[in-house]
Amino acid sequence: MSYFIAHHPTLLLQHYLQQTRSMSTLYRILRRALLVSGVLATSVAAAGSLAPGLFSTDHQMAFQFDSSNCFTNRRLFPDINTTTSSSLFHVAQQPRISIGSTALYSDTACVSAHSMPTTNTTETVQIHSVLGDTQSILVQIDDVPVATPAPTTRQPLALDGDLEFTLDIPDDTFSYAFVIDSTSAPCLNAGQSVTCRLDALPLQQGKTYDYTLRRQLGVQHTPAQAGQITIATPLTIEPTTIEQQQTIFTEISQITLVANKPVQSVGDEATLIDGSSGEAIPLTISATDTTITITAGQPLPRSRTFNLTVPTATATDSSYLEKPFELEFYTSGGPSISSYNIGTTRVSQYTDIVATYNIGISDAQDISSLVSLNVGGSPAAISVRHSGNTITVDPEQALPKCTTFTVTFASGIESIHGIPNTTGQSHTAKTACYTTAAIGTSVNGRSITAYTFGSGAKTVVFVGGLHGTERSSVHTLEAWIDELETNYADIPSNVTVRVIPNASPDSYATWSRTNANGVDLNRNFPSADWVSDVYQPGSVELAGGGGDEPLSEPESAALAAYISNTGPSLVLTYHAVARAVISNGSGNSHQLAQTYASHAGYSVGTAATEDAIFAYPTTGEFETWLHDTMGIPTLLVENATTSSNEIASHRSAMWAMLK
């Protein structure tokens, strides 16, 4: 019997178990086994051929990452066996029959990894029995699981989405973690699938990250895969039916917004606030694909400011608004005039008055009764027509010169959408106090214009721009026209003022001293000293600069004719840059030069000293011709600069010339 127990303990136990069904019988069997084992323990030395069936042979196995890696290995009292682990693996008997915490018998041993296994690895672990035998188990690893990212990894990912990997072989041995910027999050490992939740990491929308999939065993880890992911861009919203700060002229009760991607939901915190009353407008909100529709229960009030706010919204890819969407817009109060074709001064007596509205005017409305014109305090007859967004007022008679008038557009004018304005508008202006006349044209056809103020017997003429490089003369005389217009009442009643600000428009346009024919106009007048070849500043000789003959140029001929026809009492011409006033010797020109110079702070010169002042000979001058031919007192005023408007330093001197 001892020999049978020693050689076939498993068969003995199986026999008794098959013959018994109660726990009491099993208990008796185990007691008998313990008794037998005690006998064996005391007689090992005498039983030289005992128990060979309890000793297992060496074993070889390929480590599998998806199974228990166990094999058949019979052992009595497995707990008193010892094992030797390798650098990667250890082995242990699995209890089969136990009493309490005492393992009596095991028929299975299992190998497990305690360090990170690598490819092409072979190691040996051992089991040592109490009877002195050693069993070696050779463990081999050909390949470890290889992780491949799912194709969706190459697409933008949702912040709360999953990053998935496929393993080429099932793996229940390792755990996995997803690592970005030294921050890790555990992944779910299910056989050949590894799923990592992105919302476990502090990622941001629209950014790209480098990642590592880490394979872990206890505290040990190694990279299993690395790559790059991009998080889906944020959800954005833009208005489609309304622009930021747009004025809405039509009735409106619905606002449409468009998102950059399909919308899943819009938060119910969206508000539309009436900026005038501070009240919230009741809304319903719906989202279809990329369109968000916001609907008010009734048309929005007119002449108000509204502020729409959508604090939260989520896209179907789980992206969201990074900041609230805000839209400010206005509802109009009906048509409003945005501009007029006239200013407030220097308005032509013969002009039509055109008002341009910010929206089209209704064609179905007769607006003639809503428009009126008052001239100098009295109603004036007009005809009214409108087209598109303009209303034109046509006075039946020319407006008086230098007279204030007001055109009024009453409330009630309707837009093309049928919305009337509730506030009237008016425009007050003044007709020009001057008249204009084209006295001639330049070589290139540009008009030479004279402005006339007043109607007195004494005529004073101001001329500028004979040299296009001396632009300060033009700027100063244009400012003098504004001065006379603004202070028209200060012009003495016995005086007529004529201003020709630009006598050589071609040379002014090209910044040239000479006209388009290369002639210096102030050397082209029929004075006693006219010559064809003249000198320019710096004593530079200009052949033919005085023209082929006096008044050969259309500009000088036009100016000479104008002076001859108007018969002025005084002429002032403006040049640059000697800071001097030079008289031509006629009449009281010298005394007038002294007066002008004292107001302007300039020096005084005469025709006799002129060549010395300029340091080169001057011939055929306009001022000299006026002295030689008509004896008209003339002042040549040399400005201090070539291009500035010098009205500030000349204003009082110019007014003094009108007295």
pLDDT digits (tens, 9 = 90+) for 114-152: 999 989 999 999 999 877 889 999 999 999 999 999 998
For residues 458 and 496, what is the distance between their CA atoms, to the nearest angstrom? 6
431 contacts 457 by C-beta, under 8 angstroms: no
Amino acid of residue 517:
N
Q: Give residue 600's region: left, alpha or beta (phi > 0; psi -120 to 50).
A: alpha
CATH topology of domain 147-230: Immunoglobulin-like (2.60.40)
Least reliable range by pLDDT among 150-164, 564-578, 594-608: 150-164
Q: What pLDDT score does 57 carry?
A: 86
Q: Show the tokens assigned to 337.
A: 């005039």
For residues 584 and 637, what is the distance between their CA atoms, to the nearest angstrom? 11
For residues 538 and 615, what is the distance between their CA atoms, to the nearest angstrom? 7
SS3 (DSSP) at 612: helix
Q: Show the tokens assigned to 25.
A: 């019988």
For residues 561-569, give the mean pLDDT: 97
In CATH, what number does 435-656 get?
Answer: 3.40.630.10
Q: What are phi and psi of 369, to 5 degrees?
A: -80, -10
Q: What pLDDT score does 46 carry?
A: 32
Q: Show the tokens assigned to 165.
A: 């990997």
- Give the rounded percent of residues in the chain with a pLDDT score beyond 90: 78
Contacts for 407 with CB less than 8 Å, ≥ 6 apart = 353, 355, 371, 372, 373, 374, 393, 426, 427
For residues 583 and 608, what is the distance between their CA atoms, to the nearest angstrom? 9
pLDDT at 464 over 50: yes
| Tens digit of each residue's pLDDT (9 = 90 or more) over 263-273 | 999 988 899 99
Q: What pLDDT score does 79 carry?
A: 85
Its pTM stands at 0.54
Least reliable range by pLDDT among 447-456, 525-534, 610-619: 610-619
pLDDT at 255 over 80: yes
Q: What pLDDT score does 43 carry?
A: 34
pLDDT at 310 over 90: yes
**What is the distance in angstroms between the CA of the first residue and the CA of the last residue of the chain?**
158
Q: What pLDDT score does 221 carry?
A: 94
Q: What pLDDT score does 100 carry?
A: 85
Q: What pLDDT score does 159 carry?
A: 86
Q: What pLDDT score does 22 carry?
A: 40
CATH of 238-321, one of 3.40.50.300, 3.40.50.11540, 2.60.40.1220, 1.20.58.1290: 2.60.40.1220
Strands 304-310 vs 325-331: parallel, antiparallel or unpaired: antiparallel
pLDDT at 226 over 90: yes
For residues 304-311, give the mean pLDDT: 96
154 contacts 78 by C-beta, under 8 angstroms: no
Domain covering 55-141 assigned CATH 2.60.40 in the classification: yes
Contacts for 475 with CB less than 8 Å, ≥ 6 apart = 643, 644, 645, 646
Amino acid of residue 85:
S
| Tens digit of each residue's pLDDT (9 = 90 or more) over 402-433 | 999 999 999 999 999 888 998 999 999 999 99
Q: What pLDDT score does 130 carry?
A: 76
In this structure, the number of other CB atoms found within 10 A of the CB of residue 379 comes to: 9
Closest to 351 (Cα-Cα) out of 432, 459, 287:
432
Amino acid of residue 147:
A
Contacts for 378 with CB less than 8 Å, ≥ 6 apart = none
Q: What pLDDT score does 153 carry?
A: 82
Q: Show the tokens assigned to 241.
A: 């039916």
For residues 332 and 335, what is the distance between their CA atoms, to the nearest angstrom? 8
For residues 37 and 5, what is the distance between their CA atoms, to the nearest angstrom? 9
For residues 563 and 344, what is the distance between their CA atoms, to the nearest angstrom? 32
Domain range 337-430, CATH architecture: Sandwich (2.60)
| Tens digit of each residue's pLDDT (9 = 90 or more) over 479-503 | 999 999 999 999 999 999 999 999 9
β-bridge partners, 31: none
Highest mean predicted confidence (pLDDT) among 44-48, 299-303, 640-644: 640-644
Q: Show the tokens assigned to 366.
A: 């007769």
β-bridge partners, 127: 83, 135
For residues 339 and 387, what is the distance between their CA atoms, to the nearest angstrom? 15
Q: Could you give the C-alpha distances from 520 to 466, 500, 501, 552, 657, in angstroms and in order?
A: 8, 18, 17, 11, 28
In this structure, the number of other CB atoms found within 10 A of the CB of residue 540 comes to: 10
| Tens digit of each residue's pLDDT (9 = 90 or more) over 3-15 | 444 444 444 444 4
> What is the pLDDT confidence band of residue 16, given thresholds at 50, 70 and 90?
very low
Higher-confidence residue: 445 or 48? 445
> What is the pLDDT confidence band of residue 25, given thresholds at 50, 70 and 90?
very low
Mean pLDDT for the chain overall: 90
What letter would DSSP give residue 419? P
Q: How open is the CA angle 208-209-212, to the nearest 5 degrees?
A: 150
Q: What pLDDT score does 35 carry?
A: 42
Q: What pLDDT score does 56 carry?
A: 65
